[in-house]
Homo-oligomer: A and B are copies of this chain.
Amino acid sequence: MTKIQKATGSNGDYVDVPMRVRYAETDQMGVAYYANYLVWFEVARAELCRVRGFSYAEMERKTESFLVVAESFCRYHRPLPYDAPFVVRTWIRELRKRTITFEYQVLADGSDAPLAEGYTVHVVTDARGRPKSFPVDYRQFLEG
């Protein structure tokens, strides 16, 4: 019955995940605080996994593999006010044996000019943080 916030667009390459700026996410400048973009990126890449056929939560649990963030980058073009609807468009830039890089664009509804854009690089590790190879099954999901 309930409809969870989820990806609404996907062309095989990218996935669009709609969200809204929460009050908690604003700061006294009246716009979304800069660290929250990284949170939105995380929500978007989990959704990308779901669109590709698996749950990131389940991958962590079943294979004891974790996508530990090694690098994050964000360029902020225009601020987002409270309650503004927006989309995080995300895709995989590079998938290697032990690393994966996601790219993101924060888009206003119906526009292709990004309000922000960035990427995150992840290393696949076990529960103790030791690098390992991407679990085969899940790798195939991501390769689509």
Interface residues of A (CB under 8 A from B): 1-6, 8-9, 16, 18-20, 22-24, 26-31, 33-36, 38-39, 42-43, 46, 55-57, 66, 68-76, 79, 81-83, 85, 87, 109-110, 120, 129
The answer on a CB contact under 8 Å between A4 and B24 is no
Contact flag A76-B83 (CB < 8 Å), given A1-B8, A23-B28, A27-B24:
no
The answer on a CB contact under 8 Å between B57 and A81 is yes
The answer on a CB contact under 8 Å between B109 and A2 is yes
The answer on a CB contact under 8 Å between B29 and A27 is no
In the complex, which residues of chain B have a beta carbon less than 8 angstroms from the beta carbon of A20?
A: 4-5, 43
Nearest B-chain residue to A73, judged by Cβ? B73
The answer on a CB contact under 8 Å between A71 and B74 is yes
